[in-house]
Amino acid sequence: MSNFDIGDIQITKVAEDVAPTSPKFLFSGVSYEDLQRHADWMRPHFLDETGKLIMSIHSFIVKTRHHTILIDTCLGNDKQGRAFPPWNGRQGTYLQDLAAAGCPPESVDYVFCTHMHVDHVGWNTRLENGRWVPTFPNAKYLFNKEEYEYWKTVQEEHDKVVFDDSVLPIMEAQQAELVSSDFQIDDGIVLESTPGHTPGHCSVAVSSNDQHGVITGDMIHHPVQIAENHFSSAFDVQKERAIETRRTFCEKYSDRDVRILGTHFAPPTAGHIVHTKGSWRLKV
């Protein structure tokens, strides 16, 4: 659990899982040797002693003076049919951890999923009497319209089961709202279109009292992609578009007082994009 304040807006990270990850699992065509070029600034936070990437799966609780907003809902308990076997049948303490952070499920006003991959929608629903029901009973779930339209037609088995147990029940409960890529959730909380990883992927820009931050979603999975924009996630739907989006994002936010909060960045999770020695990196 970590806290980040941007002006009057309070952001709390609640992690469901933190683990070392092989670059061969996450990236297409990237080796351990490729990562060593950046070991000087990635260690000890983002690269372990064996050369593996340190990755986190977490949510951000965003509290404004008006609302409590949950950004991404991780993996969920009791889910089945996941392509990665350890994500099936989980029995974690996520809801208790949210409550300990001052965010019991009934207190959430809005849920926003940056996109609809398995590790961003899982706790949208929980299993109750054999049925998947909305975890956050008082929340309006915000889905980007383009993202929703893409995934509702997907035929790949593992993706379809995620949609069916973690997205469709929200629609059936009439708790969803389909929104545009520049939708304003609240004062100072605005979506920022960052497509490529998925067609309707959105990051979240946060501003208050002349302080600024961006929650990345999976537009950037790991800080090494700030230095190496062309390192493509194996899970990018539109690889070339994702590379261009990362490059544009780094150009936009480099050397500015804008805190970058990575949706999979291990602790300390937040930093600034700086340009040094001919490339970008994350300074924490």
> What is the CATH classification number for the domain harbouring 237?
3.60.15.10
Q: What secondary structure letter does DSSP report for 266?
A: P
Dmax (CA) of the chain: 57
Where does residue 133 rank: exposed (0-12), middle (13-18), buried (19+ CB within 10 A)? middle
Q: Which stretches of the chain score pLDDT less than 70?
A: none
Write the pLDDT tens digit of every residue in 124-149. 999 999 999 999 999 999 999 999 99
Task: Look at residue 277 in the predicted model and tell me its pLDDT.
Answer: 81
- Measured torsion, CA atoms of residues 61, 142, 122, 158, in degrees rounded to the nearest 10: -150
Q: What secondary structure letter does DSSP report for 27?
A: B
Task: Look at residue 1 in the predicted model and tell me its pLDDT.
Answer: 79
Contacts of 38 (CB under 8 A, 6+ apart): 47, 224, 227, 228, 281
Pairing of strands 189-193, 202-208: antiparallel
Task: Look at residue 278 in the predicted model and tell me its pLDDT.
Answer: 86
Give the three-class secondary structure for 221. coil
The residue range of the domain holding 258 is 2-283
Q: How far is the C-alpha of 156 from the C-alpha of 151, rounded, in Å?
A: 10
Is-above-0.95 flag for pTM?
yes
Give the number of domains in the chain. 1
Q: How far is the C-alpha of 25 from the C-alpha of 6, rounded, in Å?
A: 34
Both tokens assigned to 139: 């929340």
Task: Look at residue 85 in the predicted model and tell me its pLDDT.
Answer: 95
CA 260 to mean position of chain CA atoms: 12
